[in-house]
Amino acid sequence: MRWWKWTAIILIAVLACGYGALSYMMGGPRDVYGFLRYALPQWRDGKLKLGDTAPNVRLLALDGQTTFHLSDRIGQRPLVLVFGSYT
């Protein structure tokens, strides 16, 4: 067998072991796929640093119509900004 065949076999074995280990850690192969397909591409540490001016983004109120800027909530006291979703 040529060397490249052994290389391919070893590579496939390593990938299979890695996928198996991730499946075990994350609860199942479907979660590994979800992680690789949806989470990994969206994870961004970003470039903001301590001391940077907070981006003054525009946000929606819960009525879905009213908008305001983050700066409207800044200035009186420290602002704890929590990002998240339901799921």
Partner 1 sequence: MNLYNDYKDRADFLTVYIREAHPLDEWQMKSNVDQGVCYAQPHSTEQRVAIANDFIQRFHFPVPFAVDDMHDIADHAYSAWPERIYIIDEQGKIVYRGGIGPFNYHPPEARAWLEKRFNVTPTPTTSAANGHPTNAAN
Give the residues lining the site for partner 1 (CB under 8 A): 27, 31, 33-35, 37-39, 42-64, 68, 70-71, 73-87
Q: How many CA atoms lie within 13 A of 69 on its CB side?
A: 8
Residue 17 CB, shortest distance to partner 1, in Å, is: 22
Tokens representing residue 32 in the block = 């590994």
Residue 74 CB, shortest distance to partner 1, in Å, is: 5
Q: Distance between CA atoms of 62 and 76, rounded to whole angstroms? A: 23
Tokens representing residue 30 in the block = 């479907």
Residue 24 CB, shortest distance to partner 1, in Å, is: 15
- 1/62 with CB nearer partner 1: 62
Tokens representing residue 82 in the block = 């929590």
